[in-house]
Every structure is written in C-alpha cells, then in structure tokens.
Chain A
Amino acid sequence: MRPPRVGIGWRPEIDLSVERLRPDFVEIPAEDVDPRRIPESLRLLRGSGTPVLPHAVSLSLGGAEPLRLDRVRHLAEVAEAVEAPLVSDHVAYTGAGRWDAGHLLPLPRTRDALDVLVENVLVAQEALPVPLALENIAALVEWPGAELGEAEFLARLVERTGCRLILDVANLHGNAHNPGTDPQEFLAALPLERIAYVHVGGGIVRDGVYYDTHAHPVVPEVLELLADLNSRTELPGVLLERDDRFPADAELAAELAAIREALR
C-alpha cells in the first residue's frame, strides 16, 4: 500500500514556497486563474510532473437558481489549460435572490435540496472534461427539518451522480464542534472509496465557536480525525489549505510533516 500523496493549495502569495516544498500535487483557486495566462509557477510545477487540480467555490451547485454555465465553462477551460485529472467545488450555495453571501452556505438536508443538487451536478458534469469531486463544507448554521443525515445526503449524491468526494476533515471537525455532527458516525456512513482526496486546514476557536479560517495552524483534533480516517480506508491524497496570514516556509513544511506523521 503506497502512502497517500501530500499536497498543498497553491496561492499566488506563496507560489515560490509551494515550489520549494515539492508537494506531490497542488490545488489552484479556479476562479482566480485565467486559462489563457497560466502563471509561470504553475507551468513549472506542471513541467515537473506535479498534478494541478482546479478547485472552485462559485458554482453554487446546491442553489435553486439556474446553474451559471459560464462558470462551469471557465472551470472546464482551467482544467484543460493545466491538464487536470479532476476538478472540484462544494456541496453548498453561495447566494440567492439579489444577494451574494460571499461564502459557502449549507444546504437544507431535504429531498428537494438533494434533487436540485443532483440535477445541477449532472448538468455540470456534462460540461466538464474531467471528473468532478464535491466537498463537505463547514456549517455555522443548521437548517431545520433535515430529512437525511449528513453522510446519507452525500452518499445519495454520490450514488445518483457518480461524483467523487473531497472530504475536508477540518470542516468535519468544525461541524462536530459547532452543530454537533458525530464524526465517527459520519465516517462510518460515508462511501469512503469515493474520496478523491482529503482537505486539511487550520482554524481557531473564538467564544466557543470553531472557525475554519485557513489562516491559523491545523489543530490537533483535525490531525486525529485524519489519522482515524486513514485507518479506515486507503486515501489517495491529502492537501493542506492555507489562504491567509501566510507563514514562513518552515512552518508550512512542519504542517506538511505533521500531516505525513498522522498518515503513518
């Protein structure tokens, strides 16, 4: 059994650090990349054989309003430009009516919401040149009237669309800390064989609430969840996300080392 690949989220602010850290793969923020002008750093990484995976936040696949096909096409073009094996977005919506939330909001876990999500995902898959993976988000609010459990909702989504999953263990930890998901139950009910890779990110507790900031170190509980998950299934890869308050290379390297340690 080969150990999972360990990657890091490429961001323009840490492009040189990412190159120096020699990750097994990188993820790029799909909306920020112009497919006709791929940054040199990414071309170098591609040239050295590092897979580059576009990760989107704007498709709003769980939104009830018509899917923005221009955004799906942009994601498809970025995927082609970097020869990505896979693209991704989230199980979420980002706005409704006149207003943009500017963030990923949770979906109600109802059959209506699942049907809408499935339909949007099927349309997106048609327009994408490579497989699509969908990620669990960190929810700060819980919808009333859930008809399905969290893992059940994702399992049905996978069953009906054939999509892959990105399992974010920091988001899972956040949901365990905040709305009170049971991570053990969640992992036991999830189709783990559909995981494309895992996300690990930092966060912070303020006033008793865990915030998934990607601007702070990874908390030990998240690494414990990663180790637990790793003991249940053969993980293809794990990726560290950092979006703000970028630390020195040594600190990023230490976070990657801690991830590798949790995977032993």
Chain B
Amino acid sequence: MRRDQRQRLAAQQAELVAALVRGGEEPAGFDGEQLRVQREMLVGKRRRLVERLRPDLAERLGDRFRGLFDSYAAEHPRPRGSGVRDDAGAFTRWLRHHGHLRRRWFRRG
C-alpha cells in the first residue's frame, strides 16, 4: 500500500461527496442524472431522520417542512462525525435565525 494510492483515492472520494452534499462541481465521468438521484436520496434520508427525531418540528412547519429542510441542508452539509441530533439542532437554529420559528414559551396568566 503506497501513500499516493490513499491520497489519490481520498481526493476522488472527497470530490464525489462534495458534489453530493454541498453542490460541489460534478466530478468528471459521472452520470449527471445518477448524481441528481443520489443527491436527492441523501437529503431525503437526512430529512426523514430529523422528522423521526423531531415530529413536533415537522408538525409545526406543516407543508413548509420539506422545502425549508432542503434549503437548510443545501447550505449546511453534515460535518464528519455529526449525528442526527446535531442535524436537528442545527436545523432548529437555522429556522429561528431565518424567522421561520417564533419562540412559543408557555405564558402565565
């Protein structure tokens, strides 16, 4: 195993991931339609996992959930080593920041 083999593969793999999760340039030789299908599948999986973890959020957003999540996801790929909880937390912050969620504290009286 030579170091240059790993480096070459690392660059190829990073290029594909960037194209799939952060709208990076399409790597040469791939089928554009396959990349589109894979990209949508990945964001759909992310969305479903967040929805399962935070059904309350999906309910509050209703029809807007899908579009808002996909906009968030396109701007914020999941960093390495992060999990669904991190994703759901970051999505909630993003929603607040963009004014899509009003804080609803319990009110007294």
A95 touches B41 (CB 8 A): no
B42: Cβ under 8 A from any A Cβ: yes
- Complex CA gap A103/B30 in Å reads 19
Which residues of A lie under 8 Å from residue B35 when comparing CB positions? 141
Cβ contacts under 8 Å, B8 to chain A = 112
- Distance in angstroms between the alpha carbons of A98 and B10 in the assembled complex: 12
Q: Which residues on the B side are within 8 Å of A110 (C-beta)?
A: 9
Asked if B30 and A96 make an inter-chain contact with CB atoms under 8 angstroms apart, the answer reads no
Query: In the complex, are the beta carbons of A99 and B13 less than 8 A apart?
Result: no
Interface residue count on the B side (C-beta < 8 Å): 37
The CA of A98 and the CA of B46, in the complex, are separated in Å by 17
Residues of A within 8 A of B (CB): 63-65, 93, 95-103, 105, 108, 110, 112-113, 115-116, 119, 140-145, 178-179, 209, 211, 244
Option from B9, B20, B30, B45 in Cβ contact (under 8 Å) with A112: B9
Q: Which of B5, B42, B78 has the most CB of A within 10 A?
A: B5
Contact B18 A141 (CB under 8 A): no
Q: In the complex, are the beta carbons of A103 and B41 less than 8 A apart?
A: yes
Residue of B6, B13, B20, B22 most packed against chain A (CB within 10 A): B13
From B21, B22, B38, B46, contact of A141 by CB (8 A): B38
Contacts of B12 in A (CB 8 A): 108
**Which A residues are in CB contact (< 8 Å) with B71?**
none
Q: Is B96 an interface residue (CB 8 A)?
A: no
Can you spell out 13 A-B residue pairs with CB atoms less than 8 angstroms apart?
A: A64-B10, A95-B80, A96-B14, A97-B18, A98-B79, A99-B21, A99-B80, A105-B13, A105-B17, A115-B1, A116-B1, A116-B6, A209-B37
Known contacts A65-B10, A95-B80, A115-B1; is-contact A140 B41 (Cβ 8 Å): yes
B28 near A144: Cβ-Cβ < 8 Å: yes
B61-90 residues with Cβ-Cβ distance < 8 A to A are 77-82
Alpha-carbon distance between A244 and B5 when the two chains are bound, in angstroms: 38
Q: Mark B1-34, 1 if CB is under 8 A from A, else 0.
A: 1000111111011101110111000001111001
| CB neighbours of A96 from chain B (8 A) | 10, 13-14, 16-17
Complex formed: what's the CA distance from A63 to B9 in Å?
A: 8
